[in-house]
Chain A
Amino acid sequence: MSGDAVLEIRDVDFAYVAHHRVLEAISGRVTPGRLLVVLGPNGCGKTTLIEVLLGSLRPDRGEVRLLGKPHAAWRPAERAAHISFVPQTSSPGFAYSTRQVVELGRYALASDPPAIDRALADVALDDSAARAFHELSAGQRQRALFARALYQTAAGGRVMLLDEPVSAMDLYWVHATLRRLRELAAGGLAVVVVLQDLSLAARYADDVWLLAEGRIVAAGPWSEVLDPARLSSVYGLPIVREEPVANAGDDDEHAEETARRPRFDARWK
């Protein structure tokens, strides 16, 4: 089967309640070294797809394979060594410190305290390590959850799944986080990230899966999938593609490359 796919999803259907499919006939491959963005309107099944890929939701039909083995065949600790997950939000209900939350990234793996400090410093929360996680702002909590996944995946992870990880972050951290994800992908990690912002997707994705009503309507390199006519049809309003101005780049190599990518905007009628 899969060649070099880290995750492979084949012909998957999923329903929370009978006869109301949230995902239908989903197939695709997640490959190392690529940043895959999952896009689609509200309620189209993006979060469900991430949790099916993660294995925490079991499909009604079809299967998901991690490194060639079905999810059910993995022992939990082994699986955690390969796959990490960043939810959009998290509310543990008890007053764990930010450091304690990050530390749980290696609950099932060998702990490495200096790596916790590095992960916290990466998201500039080293000063807030002792603060209660639930007292952080929504954006800071998302940074802490990203730090937890960074700590986990630094132990040799192969794939990271992220569900709208930047939805509450300020502009600096939106770009810092997505740039970090590109770096991780460049280092060989497979990254799957759900986003809402089409321009961010265009700027940072290698590949895109576009979902609508539980189905993948287009999948492939970002430049092929992000077609204004197709996006307009999926989102139900006219979407235009805007080319960036020619001299927008700065002296950073990556910023120049991504600065040449188009942006997408809505034309509300």
Chain B
Amino acid sequence: MSTSPPRTAGSSNASADANACAARTRRVLVALAALVLLAAVARLLVGESFGWPPPRIRELRVLRLAIGLTVGAALAVSGAVLQALLRNPLASPYILGLSSGATLGYLLAGFFSVAGWSAIAQFGADQTSAFVGALAVMLVVYALAQRRGWIDPIAVLLIGVVVNALNGAAIMFVSYVAPTNTRGQMMLWMLGYFSDFATPTTIGCVAALSALGIGVSVALGRAMDVAVFSTSESWSLGLDVRRLRIVLFVIAGLLTAGSVLLAGPIGFVGLVCPHIVRLLIGPRHRPLIIGSALAGAALIVAADTAIKAASTYLFPGASLVPIGVLTAFIGGPVFLFFLWPQVSGRREP
């Protein structure tokens, strides 16, 4: 008899079109861009008085909007980049220990400053120390996780966990010895809070840096598609794995450090946004990075708008809830909502 391949079960429709896929990607990206626009307009309208604000108020709201857009996009892209670098869908911007490093830098600046604890009491007065703390941790993790110049993803994860734990211990110690009246401010900062002290120049610099990081990430999208395979496979496909890992590490670090500088450590955005976008348009990194940036920006600006609206119209006089609390409250259920079909569809043997 002649030979022919055995039949297999579960084949899907062959021409599951690349075209339909591309059209869906475009639709999702346009929808996300529309969401960003909607959230931005809402943010400009919401304030002590609802409506289009006069120039001075408008300037403040635009600055706050710029912080939200920058921080949201930077955190989400940082998460997507780290998930590719570490080949782990559960990686988030804080896995490198950057947020705890930033917090420690911020607290230590108060600890050692001439002004003493009053520097911290003046909330956000010296966010630069947080940036320096995040960068210092990034360098330490890099130095420990590289072998002959190669970044080992497993080593990054392990060292990130250890550095996080050590930073956590140091943070608890500094909090313990700090005067009681500063602890509330410290807690507020650690929950993620838009800095009222960020100048237009600072915001502009971080926004430019973030835009550069996001642009380079988009350009490296196809390389990231290769990098999620093993080192030997990536190498054989013509990728300069060693250089790419260093570039991705630096991009993720700078994006996270920049966002921490503007808003403290806001959780969940970097983990959730890439996941949701991946579920909507698939894992390819070029559209994923763009979609994550849009989703992150929309989420943070919407959360900030909701907080402002609630504290102005629903609970007048109440202090603003830290944005990190709200993103976790929104992000958790949304994450579960999107992932539930996958989780509930799994069968244990």
Contact = CB atoms under 8 A, between A and B. Distances in A.
B184 interface: no
A130 B229 contact: no
B5 A124 contact: yes
A90 B239 contact: no
Contacts of A236: none
B282 A92 contact: no
Contacts of A54: 232, 235-236
B181 interface: no
A90 B236 contact: no
B226 interface: yes
A170 B9 CA distance: 14
A52 to B, nearest CB: 10
Given A54-B232, A126-B14, A129-B14, A95 B238 contact: no
Contacts of B223: 107
Contacts of B25: none
Interface string A150-165: 0010000000010000
A80 B238 contact: yes
A31 interface: no
Nearest to A160: B236
Contacts, number: 101
Contacts of B236: 54, 56, 80, 83-85, 161
B235 A105 contact: no
A173 interface: yes
Nearest to B288: A94
Interface in B29-83: none
Interface string A87-107: 100101111110110001101
Interface in A72-123: 76-77, 79-81, 83-85, 87, 90, 92-97, 99-100, 104-105, 107-109
Contacts of B222: 107
Contacts of B239: 76, 107-108
A268 interface: no
A56 B231 contact: yes
Interface residues of B, number: 34
A55 interface: yes
Nearest to A108: B238
A219 B330 CA distance: 64
Dominant secondary structure of chain A at its interface with chain B: mixed
A93 B236 CA distance: 19
A96 B283 contact: yes
Nearest to B222: A107
Contacts of B284: 96, 100
Q: Which of B8, B239, B284 has the most CB of A within 10 A?
A: B8
Which among B12, B13, B87, B239 has the highest number of chain A CB atoms within 10 Å?
A: B12
Given A77-B238, A107-B239, A87 B233 contact: yes
Contact of B8 (A51, A109, A140, A152): A140
B238 A172 contact: no
Nearest to B14: A127
A131 interface: yes
Dominant secondary structure of chain B at its interface with chain A: loop
Contacts of B235: 54-56, 76, 85
Contact of B228 (A57, A93, A108): A93
Contact of A170 (B6, B10, B13, B231): B6
B229 A90 contact: yes
Interface residues of A, number: 42
B135 to A, nearest CB: 28
A126 B278 CA distance: 24
A185 to B, nearest CB: 19
A46 B87 CA distance: 25
A54 B238 CA distance: 11
A161 B232 CA distance: 11
Given A92-B229, A93-B87, A96-B283, A109 B238 contact: yes
B89 A93 contact: yes
A53 to B, nearest CB: 11
Nearest to A126: B14
A107 B233 contact: no
A127 B238 contact: no
A90 B234 CA distance: 11
B240 interface: yes
A96 B6 contact: no
A87 B228 contact: no
Contacts of B196: none
Contacts of A104: 225-226, 229, 237
A95 B284 CA distance: 9
A30 to B, nearest CB: 15
Nearest to A99: B18
Contacts of A84: 236
A167 interface: no
Given A94-B228, A97-B16, 10 more contacts: A90-B230, A92-B228, A93-B228, A107-B222, A108-B239, A124-B5, A127-B12, A128-B10, A172-B6, A173-B5
23 contacts: A54-B232, A54-B236, A55-B235, A57-B232, A80-B237, A80-B238, A84-B236, A92-B87, A96-B283, A99-B18, A100-B284, A104-B229, A107-B226, A107-B238, A108-B239, A124-B5, A127-B11, A127-B12, A127-B14, A128-B8, A131-B10, A131-B11, A172-B5
